[in-house]
Copies of this chain bind each other. A is one copy, B any other.
Amino acid sequence: MTEHRVRFQPNNVDANVPSGALLSEAAALAGVDLNQPCGGQGRCGRCAVRVLDGEVRRRSTVRLSAEDVAEGWALACQTTVLGDVTVEVPPQEQVERHLTTDRTATPVEVPEGYDPAEDLTIRAVNLTLTPPDMSDQTDDWSRVQVALARAGIDEPQAPLDFLRKLGPTLREGDWEAHIIYETDTWDCQPCHARLIDIRPGHQADDRLWGVAIDIGTTTVTVFLVELVSGAVVAQVADYNGQIRRGEDVISRIIYASKDGGASEMQALVIETINTLIDMACKRAQVSPDDVVKATIAGNSTMMHLLLALPSASIRLSPFITGVNHMPTIAAKEIGLAMNPLATVDCLPNVASYVGADITAGVRSSGMDETDDLTLFIDVGTNGEMVLGTREWFLACAASAGPAFEGAGVQHGMRATRGAIEEVWINSATYEPSIRVIGNVRPAGLCGSALLGLLAEMFMTGLMDKGGNIDLTLPTERVREGEHGPEYVIAWADETSIGRDIVITHVDIDNLLRAKAAIYAGFTVLATSVGVDLADVQRVLIAGNFGKYINVEKAIQIGLLPDMPWDRFAFLGNTAVRGAYLALLKREERERIKEIANKMTYLELSADNSFYEAFTSALFLPHTDLSLFPGVAAELSQARA
C-alpha cells in the first residue's frame, strides 16, 4: 500500500500514513493536537487546516466556503491524503475567527408569502429616454422626472450625489438607464420616492441586495440578503470593535461622553460593520455598491453610539434615551461601506434599556401575533423581558450584571476555547465531570457552566438554598478558601492556568443576585398586569446566551419559572431576524414601530415591588418553594 508523508507546519513534524488516511489521523500520529469538539464528524469546523501543497480529497466541506476551499482550507477529520502533502495548522484563534462567520449561522427561511412586488420598498426601473436635441433642450433631470412619472414615480427626491451621476450615466447608456429607488421611507409617510442609484443601460431588476444588522454589545451580526428573492446569501458576525473601549454599555457610554468619544465609538462599530459587509459581499460575490438598503437593530445604547447621538442620559437617572424613533438616513451619513445613498432604517427603541433589539426581537418571535400570554426574554448583561400578547406589551430590564457572562466571578471567562461549558456533579462523590470548549485543559468557567454549577451544587446538596457551601461534606473539593467557602471544579495540574479552578461563596452570591434580578423582573411584570407567572403559555428565549442555557438547570436555580419544558423555545438572535423582516417588508417595519409604540416600559429601579421580589428570589430556587413545584418534587426525591 502506498504511503504518503504528511508534514505539519509550523512545527515541521511529519507522519507517514497510508493513502486514503485522514489528515486528523496523520495529525494524531505526528503528535499534532487538533481540536475536534464534535468528535470528528465534520460538524464543528474547528479542525480546519490549510493544505499548502499536495493532493487531498475533501469528503465534506461543511462550514467552508468555495473561497475557503480555494485558499486550501480543509477539515482534517473529513480530508483524506492522496499524496505527499504539507498542511498548516493555524493557531486556534485564527480558526475561530475564520469560523466566527458561520458559527452562529442558522438557516433563515424567507417569510411565507413574501411578494417583493408588494412588500419590498426597494425597486428598480429601466428608463428609455428620448435623447435631447436642439429642438428639445430639456435638462437631464426634468427628462428623467418625466420618464419616472410615466413609470408611476411622482416627484422623487434626488440627493445631490444622485444628480451628480445623472448626466454622465445617461450619456454612457445612450439614454437608457436603470434607476434604483425606494418607493417610500419609513419615517416619512406618505412621502416621495427616494432615488438611490442610476446605472447606464437597462439591467435586470433583481440585482438588489440589502443588509440586516444586529449590533450587540459583544457581537455584531450581518445578514446579506438578496432582496427580490428574499434569500439570506451570507451570515457573518464578529466582535463589536467597541469592546476595546469597554465591555458593557455603561463603560461605553462613559467613554463616548468624553471629548471625541462619541465619534470614536461610532467609528469603531462602523469599522466592524464595514468589515462584515465586505466579508459577506465577497462571500456572495456581490458588489457593496449593489447593497442598497440596511435595517439595523441593537440595544438603545448601541443605536445611539451608531449614529453618534449623545448617550450620557441613558446612564444617569432618570435614564432617558435621546431618540427612540430614529430618522431614515443615507449610508454615507454614517460611513457605511455600501451604496452611499442606500437607505438605512434604524429600528425603534422603547427606553434606555429596552432597545431596537427587543422591538425587532419581539416581532420576529411572533409574540405580537398570538393571544397566548407570552414571556419574551433576552438575557445578557441586562435581562430584558417583555410580557404580553398581541394586544399589549409590558417590558422591563433587570440589571443582572455580567455574572452570567463570566465577569465578576473569580474564574469566569467568555465562552471561548478553554472555557468549561458544562459541569455535572456526582451526587455521591461530589466529583465533577466537565466539558471544555476546544477539548483543551480548562482555563475557567463560562456562563452556561456557572448556571449548571449552581444547579448541580444545589441539587446535590453541596450548598443549601441560601447558596451556602456545606464544608462538612466528605470531599476535598469543598474547603475554606481565601474568599470564604469554595468548591474546586478542577485541580491546578488539570488546568491550563496552573491554579485550582474554583467557585467561591462570593461568586455564588453574585450569581444569585443575577438570577434573582431576572426572576424578579418576571414577577413584577406578571404582578403588574395581575397574572401569575404560571399562566404564561410561552417563554421565548432570545440571544446567544439562550442558545447554551439548559432549561432544567435554569429552572432548578430559579432563573426561569417552573413550568413544562415544552412552553420554552430558544430563538437565537431574534434581533437580526427582526431586522431581516424589516428589510424585506414595509409592513414589518410598521409592525415593529407599532410594537414599540404599544410597549409600556416599567422602570424597575423606581418600583418598590421589584426589591421585594428580588429579595425573595435570592434563594434557590426561591423563598416560596410553592412557585417551583417541579423542583420541589425533584428535591424531595433527590434527598429522600
Chain A residues with a Cβ under 8 A of chain B = 132-135, 137-142, 157-160, 163-164, 166-168, 171, 188, 191-192, 307-310, 312-313, 317-327, 329, 333-334, 349, 351-352, 601, 603, 605-606
A601→B317 CA distance, assembly (Å): 64
Contact A327 B159 (CB under 8 A): yes
Cα A324 to Cα B135 with chains together (Å): 17
- The smallest C-beta distance from A76 to any residue of chain B, in angstroms, reads 49
For A601, the chain B residues whose CB sits under 8 A away are 137
In the bound complex, how far is the Cα of B232 from the Cα of A243, in angstroms? Answer: 54
B132 touches A166 (CB 8 A): no
Decide yes or no: A163 and B309 within 8 Å by CB, A158-B327, A320-B139 being known contacts: yes
Q: Which of B134, B139, B168, B351 contacts A603 (CB 8 A)?
A: B134
Q: How many copies does the complex hold?
A: 2
Given the complex of chains A and B, what is the CA–CA distance between A327 and B157 in angstroms? Answer: 8
Complex: chain B residue closest to A257, CB-CB: B168
Q: Which of B160, B168, B192, B310 contacts A188 (CB 8 A)?
A: B192
Docked pose: A356 CA to B297 CA in angstroms: 44
Chain B residues whose CB sits within 8 angstroms of the CB of A326 once the complex forms: 163
Q: Is the CB of A322 within 8 A of B606?
A: no
A163-B323, A327-B163 known; A134+B308 contact, CB < 8 A = no
A10 to B430, CA, bound (A): 100
Asked if A324 and B160 make an inter-chain contact with CB atoms under 8 angstroms apart, the answer reads no
A118 to chain B, nearest CB (A): 26
CA distance A160 to B319 in the complex (A): 21
Q: Which residues of B contact A323 (CB under 8 A)?
A: 139-141, 163, 166
Contact assessment for A324 and B606 in the assembled complex, using a CB-CB cutoff below 8 Å? no
Known: A141-B322, A192-B188, A322-B141. A327 touches B160 (CB 8 A): yes
Question: Shortest distance in angstroms between A179's beta carbon and chain B's nearest beta carbon?
Answer: 15
Q: Which residue of B lies closest to A322 (CB)?
A: B167
Complex: A603 Cα to B136 Cα, angstroms: 10
Pick the contact of A312: B159, B167, B318 (CB < 8 A): B167
B320 engages A140 (CB within 8 Å): yes
Query: In the assembled complex, how far is the CB of residue A175 from the closest CB belonging to chain B, in whole angstroms?
Result: 11
A122 to chain B, nearest CB (A): 21
Contact A163-B322, Cβ < 8 Å, known A192-B188, A352-B137, A603-B137: yes
Of all A-B residue pairs in the complex, the 5 with the closest CB atoms, nearest first, are A134-B606, A139-B321, A139-B324, A141-B323, A167-B322
A307: B residues at CB distance < 8 A: 160, 163-164
> Would B309 and A164 count as touching, CB distance under 8 A?
yes
| Docked-complex contact B171 and A313, CB < 8 angstroms | yes
Tell me whether B137 and A320 are in contact (CB under 8 A). Answer: yes
Kindly list 11 other residue pairs between chains A and B, CB separation below 8 angstroms, not including A134-B606, A139-B351, A140-B320.
Answer: A133-B318, A134-B318, A137-B352, A137-B603, A159-B327, A160-B329, A163-B307, A163-B309, A166-B322, A167-B309, A188-B192
Task: Give the distance in Å from the alpha carbon of A352 to the alpha carbon of B321 in the complex.
Answer: 50
B134, A333: Cβ atoms under 8 Å? Answer: no
Q: Select the residue from A166, A167, A192 with max chain B CB neighbours within 10 A.
A: A167
Minimum distance in angstroms from A301 CB to a CB of chain B: 13
Find the B residue at minimum CB distance from A326.
B163
Q: Which B residues are in CB contact (< 8 Å) with A352?
A: 137
- Measured between beta carbons, the chain B residues less than 8 angstroms from A139 are 320-324, 349, 351
Residues of B within 8 A of A188 (CB): 157, 192
| A158 partner residues in chain B, CB cutoff 8 A | 327
Chain B residues whose C-beta falls within 8 Å of the C-beta of A159 in the assembled complex: 327
- A318:B137 contact, CB within 8 angstroms: yes
Known pairs A132-B318, A157-B327, A192-B188; A310 contacts B164 (CB<8 A) = yes
Q: Could you tell me the distance between the alpha carbons of A20 and B140 in the complex, rounded to whole angstroms?
A: 67
Q: How far is the CB of A419 from chain B (nearest CB, A)?
A: 37
Q: Residues of B contacting A134 with CB < 8 Å? A: 317-318, 603, 605-606
Out of B141, B321, B327, B329, which one reaches A325, CB within 8 Å? B141
| Nearest chain B CB to A188 CB, angstrom units | 7
